[in-house]
């Protein structure tokens, strides 16, 4: 039966609406699929957010504490393995600690130089040498302690055991041996004494000027300043201090020190332990005698002041700690005191303190002395007149330095 028989007439408008309805359904379905696909990632994001919340973290920690985490479980059941791993890292940590300590020493040394520059300390000609020369390695630096009034003593040394001019420069370049007379400044800066020293240095070029005011009672301060200055200027294995009225065989000294090169902290000299003199007015009086115990006590063992040598580590120690090192009345006592409490190898070598009467027969026997002087004078008596004679009788020979290997 047709539409008309039922009294119903098809509506073209409603037919068009059904088509659009179908299209809209299909479109909604596609849109729903797309939307659903994007929403699948939401639980993961929510899970990540939840993992950051304190409650979730507490739950994880609780599970780990109960042994559910296999990593933590393994740690709890194998404590011996942890101790083993810790022990394995002990040696590398010690090596790192030594490296850090060495860097701290270098940093402290650099700060000491910076402080001297900031304080306006004058820089000598030796400080102005090129950096490449400063960093060169030397065997030893020999500082000859002298005074303004000792010009003739210096000339007697120059005429005997201290090479001059090009020969001295060649000694530095080929053998690594630096030699300088060591002197500070007068109490009147720029006075006649300072001008005379400056003229002498221009002529010979063998003086090391210290930032120090000269004076016999200031020998401890001068010794400290010398080692600090020498350690800053030259990178040497050893630093030597010797008086200008002592005869020295440089090649023999170099060979002696070279035999101790492998030792890190070395203090070499003729070791002694003299009485602490409490009585005022006597030579070598010690104002702080009470620090050494009862009257009549002796000093601790230390090298006699005519000549002694210390290794690089000890010179650096003085350089870095110079502002806090206590000074006693006698410079050799002060030096020995600075090393009390340190792990230092004290080497007593009697060849560093031969007498001027026995050095000759020792040389003839092939046992050449390093240094010679008269104990009664704490140096060579009348050294200006006698230095050449002692050098002739006790010297090591002209070719000793040229042929010597260190």
Give the chain's domains with CATH numbers. Answer: 137-269+304-403 (3.90.550.10)
User: In the predicted model, is pLDDT for residue 101 greater than 60?
Assistant: no
The rounded distance, in Å, linking the Cα atoms of 306 and 351 is 12
User: In the predicted model, is pLDDT for residue 21 greater than 80?
Assistant: no
Least confident of 29-33, 285-289, 294-298: 29-33
How confident is the model at residue 266, as a pLDDT?
Answer: 97
Which residue bears the tokens 């050893």? 238
User: In the predicted model, is pLDDT for residue 114 greater than 80?
Assistant: no
How confident is the model at residue 90, as a pLDDT?
Answer: 53
User: In the predicted model, is pLDDT for residue 98 greater than 60?
Assistant: no
More confident residue, 1 or 110: 110
pTM for the predicted model, two decimal places: 0.69
Please give the share of the chain, as a percent, with pLDDT higher than 90: 59
pLDDT band at 195 (very low <50, low <70, confident <90, very high): very high
- When the pLDDT of each residue in the chain is averaged and rounded to a whole number, the result is 81
Please give the share of the chain, as a percent, with pLDDT higher than 70: 69
How confident is the model at residue 92, as a pLDDT?
Answer: 61
Backbone conformation region of residue 281, classed left if phi is above 0, alpha if psi is from -120 to 50, else beta: left
How confident is the model at residue 17, as a pLDDT?
Answer: 67
How confident is the model at residue 110, as a pLDDT?
Answer: 62
pLDDT band at 329 (very low <50, low <70, confident <90, very high): very high
User: Residues 60-75: pLDDT tens digits?
Assistant: 444 344 444 444 444 4
Question: Roughly what angle, to the nearest 10 degrees, separates helices 219-233 and 90-118?
Answer: 110
pLDDT band at 111 (very low <50, low <70, confident <90, very high): low
List the 345-348 sheet strands across, edge first: 207-213, 177-185, 137-145, 235-243, 302-311, 266-272, 345-348
How confident is the model at residue 26, as a pLDDT?
Answer: 78
E-only strand ranges, 110-163:
137-145
Pick from 263, 255, 349, 260: nearest CA to 306 = 349
What does the block give as tokens for 37?
């696909």
């Amino acid at each position: 039966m047709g539409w008309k028989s039922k009294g119903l007439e098809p509506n073209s408008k409603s037919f068009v609406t059904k088509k659009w309805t179908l299209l809209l359904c299909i479109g909604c379905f596609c849109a729903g699929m797309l939307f659903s696909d994007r929403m699948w990632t939401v639980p993961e994001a929510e899970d990540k957010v939840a993992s950051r919340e304190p409650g979730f973290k507490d739950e994880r920690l609780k599970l780990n504490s109960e042994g559910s985490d296999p990593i933590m479980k393994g740690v709890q059941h194998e404590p011996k393995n942890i101790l083993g791993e810790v022990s394995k890292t002990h040696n590398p940590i010690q090596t790192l600690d030594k490296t850090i300590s060495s860097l701290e020493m270098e940093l402290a040394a650099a700060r000491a130089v910076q402080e001297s520059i900031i304080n306006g300390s004058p820089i000598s000609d030796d400080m102005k040498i090129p950096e490449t020369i400063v960093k060169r390695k030397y065997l030893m630096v020999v500082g000859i302690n002298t005074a303004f009034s000792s010009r003739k003593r210096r000339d007697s040394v120059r005429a005997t055991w201290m090479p001059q001019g090009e020969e001295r420069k060649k000694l530095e370049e080929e053998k690594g041996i630096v030699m300088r007379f060591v002197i500070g400044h007068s109490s009147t800066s720029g006075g006649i004494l300072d001008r005379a020293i400056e003229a002498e240095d221009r002529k010979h070029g063998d003086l090391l000027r210290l930032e120090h005011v000269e004076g016999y009672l200031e020998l401890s301060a001068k010794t400290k300043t010398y080692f600090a200055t020498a350690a800053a200027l030259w990178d040497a294995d050893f630093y030597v201090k010797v008086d200008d009225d002592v005869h020295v065989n440089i090649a023999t000294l170099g060979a002696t020190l070279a035999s101790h090169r492998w030792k890190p902290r070395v203090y070499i000299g003729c070791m002694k332990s003299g009485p602490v003199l409490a009585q005022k007015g006597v030579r070598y009086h010690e104002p702080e005698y009470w620090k050494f115990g009862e009257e009549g006590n002796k000093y601790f063992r230390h090298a006699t002041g005519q000549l002694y040598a210390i290794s690089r580590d000890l010179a650096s120690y003085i350089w870095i700690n110079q502002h806090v090192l206590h000074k006693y009345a006698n410079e050799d006592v002060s030096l020995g005191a600075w090393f009390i409490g340190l792990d230092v190898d004290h080497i007593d070598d009697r060849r560093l303190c031969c007498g001027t009467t026995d050095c000759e027969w020792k040389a003839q026997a092939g046992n050449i002395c390093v240094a010679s002087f008269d104990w009664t004078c704490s140096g060579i008596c009348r050294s200006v007149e006698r230095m050449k004679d002692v050098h002739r009788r006790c010297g090591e020979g002209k070719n000793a330095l040229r042929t010597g290997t260190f």
